[in-house]
Amino acid sequence: MIPIQTNSQKMAQTAYQRIRERKPDREFAGFARSFPSLVHACGLAQAVAFAMAKHRTQYIEDLTAVLKSIGYSESASADSFARATREHLIPAYVRLSRNALEAAGWLKRYVEALKQE
């Protein structure tokens, strides 16, 4: 029997693997902690554009990997994800934003949890 995982479980597992492999530095950890607030304040497209402009592509790559684990095919790279946030129609953009917020939440949790190790 193949175990069935929820999207949240898939995101959590992928986020844990990415953060564990990355061993984030202080800058990455700080950005991971602030990204969900940035999305709430100005929207996903603008938050991703800010991250790309500030050379935080590693974080966006981790975010896209977490989203790819639940089936977002446009999350192949940081650039394609940034383009998708600008080109989606409103309903798809809202759904992507919600899922990105959840994914960012998992990244934030694991950055905080694994900094103790």
36-47 residues labelled b (16+ CB within 10 A) or e (exposed): bebbeeeebbeb
Supply the pTM of this predicted model.
0.91
pLDDT of residue 68: 94
pLDDT for residue 14 is more than 80: yes
Structure tokens at 46: 């603008």
pLDDT for residue 117 is more than 70: no
Instruction: Identify which has the larger pLDDT, 18 or 72.
Output: 18
Domain housing 49: 7-114
Query: What CATH number is given to the structural domain containing 14?
Result: 1.10.520.30
Phi-psi group of 71: left, alpha or beta (phi > 0 → left; psi -120 to 50 → alpha; rest → beta): left
Q: What is the pLDDT of residues 60-110, one digit of tens each?
A: 999 999 999 998 877 678 889 999 999 999 999 999 999 999 999 999 999
69 part of a folded domain = yes
Number of compact structural domains in the chain: 1
